[in-house]
Amino acid sequence: MAEQADRESRTEEPTEKKIVDEVEKGNIPVSREASVFAFTIAMLVITVFMAKDLLRSVGFILRQLSSDPSGVQLQNSADAVSFFNALVWKIGTPFIPMLVTLLMAGLASSFLQHAPRIIFHRIQPDWNRISLINGWHRIFSARGQADFFKGVFKLLSIGIVIWTVVRWQQNTFIDTMSFEPDAIPELLLMIATRLLMVVGVVTILLLAMDLLWVRMHWRRDIRMSKQEIKDEMKELDGDPLKKARLRSLALDRRRKSMIAAVPRATLVIANPTHYAIALRYVREEGGAPLVLSKGKDLIHLKIREIAEQHLIPIVEDKLLARSMYDCVEVDRPIPPEFYKAVAELIHILYAKSSRKGGAK
């Protein structure tokens, strides 16, 4: 019941991250009909291009053996083993191309569906797989019943096709009784070729339907609940609490950096109660005045306090401080629209400094 309720709660289509994660874990849609189709095509290739030479080679070996049995020395068990190994090698060698073709077809049926990958946890022992109870549930589950009916449908389809071809060729089978023995293998190869071609057509139709079926059910099985999507988005975007904590730490570091830079300022432009902007301008350094720090409320008071401790001039200009605060950025020169106003303040400060120097 819990599993059914969990499946019913999964109403949302899987995200790209969910699909990638399932593929990485080895949970991929695989059609079993692909291997059947590949085997059928491989047998068709073998029948058309290899079977005639294969039968000819094996027949020649058997005829050679039967025509001269006295040439085989079987004096002891060693002779018997040697004769058996030689016979197996001679008869087996012509079958190697056929085995290679079947192997390539099997690999192609897998690789053409999905790129090869090694999933270590998929090859680890899973004791649930050998549990009789779990196996019973898998057999009689909805998936097991669907696989059973698919298998029955496949067997019926292929069986009907084979029966139809055999009925179609029944007169040919009857005519073989009047054929020369040497012509019978070639006739059987022709019938087998026709049979495999028809079975191949039926199999490719079954494969197309099974691919759609498997992928549809795979996407249904990996559907996500709304909560899972929210958790995934939270994971991708980061935990809001962690993000808030990181923002707080970054802001704190930035404040400390700005406060530490105030002693290097040339002047501080301040609103008497709310805003303060520390600027640095040295003729030898060149360029426009640089914003070392800015702040309001408590930060404003801290900037003023440090400026007073280091005897940095504080210019109180309510309008200028307020307008500059929203436009300037720390560690960047002031915008061009403030050049004239700030230049006048710096000129006044330099003039005062010069008069004080002259008075001394």
C-beta atoms surrounding 344 within 10 Å = 10
Q: What is the pLDDT of residues 228-263, one digit of tens each?
A: 888 877 776 666 776 777 677 778 888 888 888 889
- List pLDDT tens digits, range 24-83: 777 788 888 888 888 888 888 888 888 777 777 777 776 766 666 666 666 677 767 777
Amino acid letter for position 298: L
Mean pLDDT of the 144-166 span: 77
pTM above the 0.75 mark?
A: no
Could you give the domains of the chain? Answer: 28-117+124-221 (no CATH), 260-359 (3.40.1690.10)
What's the confidence (pLDDT) of residue 277? Answer: 92
The Cα–Cα gap between 13 and 224 comes to 6
Torsion of CA 132, 137, 140, 144, to 10 degrees: -100
Kindly give, in sequence order, each residue whose CB lies less than 8 Å from that of residue 243, ignoring residues fewer than 6 positions away.
Answer: 237
Token pair for 175: 């005519």
Q: How far apart are CA 182 and CA 133, in angstroms?
A: 56
CB 83 within 8 A of CB 72: yes
Of the given ranges (69-83, 191-205, 217-231, 318-332), which has the lowest mean pLDDT?
A: 69-83
> Has residue 1 got a pLDDT over 50?
no
Q: What's the pLDDT tens digit per position in 10-41?
A: 778 887 778 877 877 777 888 888 888 888 88
| One-letter amino acid for residue 254 of the chain | R
User: Which helix (H) or strand (E) covers residue 257, if one does?
Assistant: helix 240-261
- Which pLDDT belongs to residue 225? 84
Q: What distance in Å separates the CA atoms of residue 221 and residue 219, rounded to the nearest whole number?
A: 5
Q: How far apart are the first and last CA of the chain?
A: 95
* pLDDT for 313 beyond 80: yes
What is the residue-averaged pLDDT of the chain?
78
Give the Cα separation of 283 and 166 in Å (integer). Answer: 104
Residue 317 CB: number of other CB atoms within 10 A?
17
Kindly tell me if the per-residue pLDDT of 5 is higher than 70.
no
| Closest to 214 measured CA to CA, from 150, 260, 168 | 150
Phi-psi group of 286: left, alpha or beta (phi > 0 → left; psi -120 to 50 → alpha; rest → beta): left
Using the predicted structure, report yes or no on whether residue 220 has a pLDDT greater than 80: yes
